[in-house]
Amino acid sequence: MKAAIYTRYGSADTVHLAEHPTPAPGPGQVLVRVHAASVTTADWRMRAAAYPGILWLPGRLMTGLFKPKQPVLGTSMAGEIVATGAQVTRFRTGQRVFGFVGSGAHAEYVAVDEDGALVETPEALTDAEAAALPFGALSALVFLRDVAQVQPGQDVLIVGASGGVGAYATQIAKALGARVTAVAGPGRETLLGGLGADRIVNYREENPAAARQAYDVVLDTVGATTWPEMRRALKPGGLFVPLNFTGKDMLHALRARFDKTRVKLAVSGDTADDLRALTDMIGKGEVRAVIDSRWPFDRIAEAHAHVEARHSAGTVIVEIARGTSHKAAA
């Protein structure tokens, strides 16, 4: 099969298409023909070994100390099941599915555990829309619902509100009943208004840290703010959640134990139940896929460079097989 591979850490052009062995599904796995996959900040971080601060060492230990252990990136995809392992009971050949696979989605085929974060693709979603969801929307759901435990009527600030995670965080915070202030750069007003933001802050014109006791929760998806800057913008008891945390944020979390405000550091989960929770929100019209751009498979290195620039408006999609605009056959 064709796969986008990288064999050393480096810039976007280290990623290139090559022949790679087609994975054989294990007894509890399905083989998915990938129609569309997302290219995300996780792919950029793994490809460039761009882990923030002291996370460099655990990051390298995870992906390979001197060179990548797994040459095919790609955390999230949508496609069609073309083979099932002997013990598979939940899925069948021909079914459209989407999910979070961790790595390996930037290829024509990927083998996925049937018990993993994999669900049937709702008829209303194209493959590109489905592939757009698992990385950003799952992260946003877990951080807002479980880590921050956002309650109806709370004031929530999303920093990086138009990005790969932020575009979903804005919608999910709204769906949880919050009043949402969305921070992004110039020209994002229409997008953010459409995603439900109550107030929009252009970070080039207004410093979100200048607010006083305004927010119950600050979710910074970019690493553009710190707790010492934001603590006076939080209400007493308010919570600062940086997605992109470093050793400094760990120290801030310790210091915040003696403050009126709080800091929580976490990593996002990926479960089939949460994907189903997301598809329910989509069915109710509370959340939609936000696609920044679509790239043909042979231009995946350009998609990587685009993601690395950190100004995506939603999810970047690479189209791997024909059928990315395909919905279920009538």
Ligand X SMILES: NC(=O)c1ccc[n+]([C@@H]2O[C@H](COP(=O)([O-])OP(=O)(O)OC[C@H]3O[C@@H](n4cnc5c(N)ncnc54)[C@H](OP(=O)(O)O)[C@@H]3O)[C@@H](O)[C@H]2O)c1
Name residues contacting ligand X, limited to 259-278 (CB under 6 A).
267-268
Residue 170 near residue 180, CB atoms below 8 Å: yes
Task: For 169-228, give the secondary structure using H, E and C.
Answer: HHHHHHHCCCEEEEEECCCCHHHHHHCCCCEEEECCCCCHHHCCCCEEEEEECCCCCCHH
Of residues 82 through 141, those in contact with ligand X by CB under 6 A are 139
| Of 185, 194, 247, 296, the one binding ligand X by CB under 6 A | 185
Residue nearest to ligand X as judged by C-beta position: 163
* Least distance between ligand X and beta carbon 51 (Å): 9
Contact range with ligand X by CB under 6 A, out of 103-111, 112-120, 162-170, 280-288: 162-170
Q: Does 166 bind ligand X (CB under 6 A)?
A: yes
Answer for which of 184, 209, 289, 320 binds ligand X (CB under 6 A) is 184
Which residue reads 């959340």 in tokens?
A: 287
Among the listed residues 1, 310, 321, 327, the single contact to ligand X using CB under 6 A: 310
Identify which of residues 126 and 246 has a Cβ nearer to ligand X in the complex: 246
Q: Establish if 226 lies at the interface with ligand X (CB under 6 A).
A: no
N- to C-terminal Cα separation, the chain: 29
Q: Counting contacts by CB under 6 A, is residue 38 touching ligand X?
A: no
Nearer to ligand X, 42 or 88 (CB): 42
Task: Name which position in 162, 170, 181, 324 contacts ligand X (CB under 6 A).
Answer: 162
E-strand ranges in the chain read: 2-5, 16-19, 29-39, 76-84, 96-100, 109-113, 117-120, 155-159, 179-184, 199-202, 215-220, 234-242, 262-263, 291-296, 315-319
By CB under 6 A, residue 243 contacts ligand X: yes
Q: Determine contact, residues 281/159, Cβ cutoff 8 Å.
A: no
- Tokens 């060179």 belong to 67
Task: Fill in the per-residue mask, 194 to 223: x = in contact with ligand X (CB under 6 A), - = not in contact.
Answer: ---------x-----------------xx-
Residue indicated by tokens 């989605």: 105
Instruction: Tell me how far, at minimum, the Cβ of 59 lies from ligand X, in Å.
Output: 10
Tokens of 328: 């279920």
**Which two three-digit tokens encode residue 270?**
């990926």
Residue 311 within binding range of ligand X, rule CB under 6 A: yes
- Quick one: tokens of 186? 């110039």
- Residue 10 or 185 having the CB closest to ligand X: 185
Which among 4-12, 56-64, 296-304, 308-316 is the span making contact with ligand X, rule CB under 6 A? Answer: 308-316
Cβ-proximal residues to 169 (8 Å cutoff; 6+ apart), any chain: 140, 143, 144, 158, 161, 219, 221
Contact 303, 184 (CB under 8 A): no
Where on the chain is the footprint of ligand X (CB under 6 A)? 40-42, 45, 139, 159-166, 183-185, 188, 203, 221-222, 224, 243-244, 267-268, 310-312
